[in-house]
């Protein structure tokens, strides 16, 4: 039955973070091509970025599109938390001449992608076998801290869409308490994202320098990371160790909240850059250091997502499901409602 939503290809996909927007065209079911990464700062608005991508891709006609974005999506108006872009979904749809434009949280999209990621794009960090039919947890530091989950039910999965990165940070020991105090003096409320994000890396470094009575150098996240990985700066190395330990604690809290015996997945842009160091870091030790629940957590596998563009299959799956649902709905008859007029 026709619904007015043709099976038109290609479909426009996007994964929009606070720093970069990743665009692609789905040219057939599951076939994702023409991937481009555009810096958000290089474009005044989302609409400008989309049009720039379509020009790069050859400006092929597109009817259906879906975007994952690092932000809550609570209605038509979207104001990004970690970037200045703000837009109306409906106005953007009209401006681009689209039949369909869906916008969801980027980590909801990544959660939807988890069943589609091949084993070759997952690096297991400890634990045993994933339990079939159990929830899957997702957490990942990047420009911000994304959190989601995938809850299995008969015949499918339901993603959770929330803002778990903004829960309050809980220190594990005196060193982390000192870091928390340093951040609290500067910002008041200290969320998990405040420390477990790109901007959190130099903040941890500065707090550790203050704790040691040292003068902190003016280092950005990439510089702290590079000096820590090379061993050129012991305080930067300590920063990375603390960061990984904090992430282990946050991931364990999420696993306990969800009963995520199906596994915990690590996304975001930061941890993949720490490969080699991360596997030997305090992450897994902290993940299991939960007193009476240590044995429970020790069995849970953690998977580092090493895909280059892991959220795009989830965006595509969401768009496909919504279009299929729209086609399955009965069309309104032109005479419907006329009797009451």
Mean pLDDT across 84-112: 95
**Separation CA 23–CA 138 (nearest Å):** 22
Q: Which residue do the tokens 């997952």 mark? A: 122
Q: Which residues pair with 67 in a beta bridge?
A: 14, 103
pLDDT score for 5: 55
Reported as a single tens digit per residue, the pLDDT across 24-48 is: 999 999 999 999 999 999 999 999 9
| End-to-end C-alpha distance for the chain, whole angstroms | 28
Annotated binding-site positions for ATP: 14-19
Helix, strand, coil: what percent of the chain each, to 5? 45, 20, 35
pLDDT score for 1: 26
Mean pLDDT across 254-269: 96
Annotated binding-site positions: 14-19
- The b-or-e profile of 307-323 (16+ CB within 10 A means b, else e) is bebbbbbbbbbbbbebb
Residue pair 263/152 in contact by the 8 Å Cβ criterion: no
pLDDT score for 162: 84
**Separation CA 129–CA 225 (nearest Å):** 32
User: In 3D, which of 101, 29, 65, 32 has the Cα closest to residue 310?
Assistant: 32
Q: Residue 186 corresponds to which tokens in the numbers above?
A: 């500067």
Q: Which residues pair with 14 in a beta bridge?
A: 23, 67
pLDDT score for 328: 79
Q: Residue 293 corresponds to which tokens in the numbers above?
A: 């629940």
Q: How far are the Cα atoms of 30, 116, 225 from residue 9, in angstroms, in the given order?
A: 12, 21, 42
In the DSSP assignment, the letter for residue 129 is P
Q: State if pTM tops 0.85.
A: yes
Reported as a single tens digit per residue, the pLDDT across 185-220 is: 999 999 999 999 999 999 999 999 999 999 999 999
Average pLDDT over all residues of the chain: 92
Reported as a single tens digit per residue, the pLDDT across 153-181 is: 888 889 988 889 999 999 999 999 999 99
Residue pair 145/192 in contact by the 8 Å Cβ criterion: yes
**Separation CA 181–CA 85 (nearest Å):** 32
């Amino acid at each position: 039955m026709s619904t007015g939503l043709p099976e038109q290809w290609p479909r426009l996909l996007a994964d929009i973070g606070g720093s970069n927007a990743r665009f692609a065209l789905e040219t057939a079911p599951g076939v994702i091509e023409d991937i481009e990464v555009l810096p958000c700062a290089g474009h005044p608005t989302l609409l400008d970025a989309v049009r720039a991508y379509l020009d790069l891709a050859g400006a092929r006609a597109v009817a259906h599109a879906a975007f994952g974005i690092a932000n809550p999506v609570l209605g038509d108006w979207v104001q990004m938390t970690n970037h200045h872009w703000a837009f109306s979904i409906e106005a953007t749809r009209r401006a681009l001449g689209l039949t369909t434009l869906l916008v969801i949280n980027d980590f909801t999209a990544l959660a939807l992608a988890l069943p589609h990621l091949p084993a070759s794009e997952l690096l297991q960090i400890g634990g045993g076998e994933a339990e079939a039919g159990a929830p899957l947890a997702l957490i990942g530091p990047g420009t911000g801290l994304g959190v989601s989950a995938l809850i299995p039910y008969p015949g499918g999965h339901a993603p959770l869409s929330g803002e778990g990165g903004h829960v309050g940070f809980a220190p594990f020991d005196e060193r982390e308490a000192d870091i928390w105090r340093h951040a609290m003096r500067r910002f008041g409320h200290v969320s998990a994202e405040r420390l477990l994000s790109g901007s959190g890396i130099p903040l941890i470094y500065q707090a550790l320098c203050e704790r040691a009575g040292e003068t902190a150098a003016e280092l950005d996240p990439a510089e702290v990371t590079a000096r820590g990985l090379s061993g050129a700066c012991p305080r930067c190395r300590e920063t990375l160790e603390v960061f990984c330990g904090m992430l282990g604690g946050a991931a364990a809290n999420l696993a306990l909240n969800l009963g995520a015996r199906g596994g915990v997945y690590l996304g975001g842009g930061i941890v993949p850059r720490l490969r080699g160091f991360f596997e030997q870091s305090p992450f897994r030790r902290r993940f299991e250091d939960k007193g009476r629940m240590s044995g429970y957590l020790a069995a849970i596998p953690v998977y580092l997502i090493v895909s280059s563009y892991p959220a795009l299959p989830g965006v595509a799956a969401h768009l496909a499901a919504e279009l299929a649902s729209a086609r399955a709905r009965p069309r309104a008859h032109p005479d419907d409602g006329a009797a009451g007029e």
